[in-house]
Chains A and B, each alone.
Chain A
Amino acid sequence: MSEVLQIGSRSFSSRLLVGTGKYKDLEETRDAIIASGAEIVTVAIRRTNIGQNADEPNLLEFISPDKWTILPNTAGCFNAEDAIRTCMLARELLDGHNLVKLEVLGEQKTLYPNMTHTISAAKTLIEDGFEVMVYCSDDPIFCKELDDMGCVSVMPLASPIGSGLGVVNPHTISIILENSSKPIIVDAGVGTASDAAIAMELGCEGVLMNTAIAKAKDPILMAEAMKDAVISGRKAFLAGRMQKTEYGNASSPTEGLIE
């Protein structure tokens, strides 16, 4: 399969996007990302330490922007203004790189997105030349609106960020897919390989995950599992699954049985 995942002006062969949070150290982060085969890697934007640990290694020394497409996120932002400011800082930090993952959170407990602020921030960012991949609720109407606005990828949650609950509402994901003109990438909530495969079998163009890999007992092995699951799920979607039936249907001939 030499299919390409087209996101805005960029194209990719891997459909697994991974985060860089919650790993034991930067070596493990890098090794897991390599094992995952991901080409798009999310990062967060935070204050530098101011001299306390000047020689502390920097994430981008391990995950080079020359080798991976860095996707800065706006995690931790609870309003449009902070999210826009974070994207602008990220663009400056990454020498004009305009691809961002917009997420505006609504509350700490569920980490569900605030869609009013998400839509407002997306509008401003698109007008300013950003290519916006947007984390959003799994609501077909909001997803369509973000698609129509010109977001380069719409990324509904499978379940709450970091929950590992998997795709809790495959029906809404299917409706979102029906209405979409841009790649739909399930972002957040995947817990294990079968969750990623389910998202891909539904027809999603990709899956974005962090905790499922970083908090596995063996993150490197789970990264490999997720790589395989996304590939398998995509192949199964393209292959087209058999029809389900209510009752048994013998696979072996019913004639010619010995008597």
Chain B
Amino acid sequence: MPAIKFHLNGELIQKTSGQSLAELASDLELTKKKFAIEMNGEIIPKSLHASTLIEEGAVIEIVHAVGGG
């Protein structure tokens, strides 16, 4: 897969080759945690993370639960 650039939580990320959302989550050591991914404004269900490739220029948000009232 060719190199790609995308936005992750507001930061521009460059990877030497393309990857799936599951691979991205694994790189971020999120695999065993509870998180949710949105790509280009759409929530991508966990069941599709492995089969969903990150698109060039994609805007990705990954969220988790933090303390709040």
Contacts and interface: CB of A to CB of B under 8 A. Distances in A.
Nearest to A85: B38
Interface residues of B, number: 27
A47 B10 contact: yes
Contacts of B27: 51
A48 B67 contact: no
Contacts of B63: 45-48, 89, 93
A162 B9 CA distance: 28
What is the interface of chain A mostly: helix, strand, loop, or mixed?
mixed
Contact of A21 (B10, B43, B62, B67): B67
A94 B64 CA distance: 9
Greatest chain A CB density within 10 A among B13, B29, B66 is at B66
B22 to A, nearest CB: 15
A43 B9 contact: no
Contacts of B29: 51, 54-55
Interface of A: 19-23, 26, 29, 42-48, 50-51, 54-55, 58-61, 65, 70, 72-73, 75, 85, 88-90, 92-95, 161-162, 188, 208-211
28 contacts: A19-B67, A20-B68, A22-B67, A22-B69, A43-B67, A47-B10, A47-B63, A48-B62, A48-B63, A50-B11, A50-B13, A50-B28, A50-B62, A51-B28, A58-B34, A58-B65, A59-B64, A59-B65, A59-B66, A61-B33, A75-B69, A88-B43, A89-B63, A93-B34, A93-B36, A94-B65, A188-B69, A209-B69
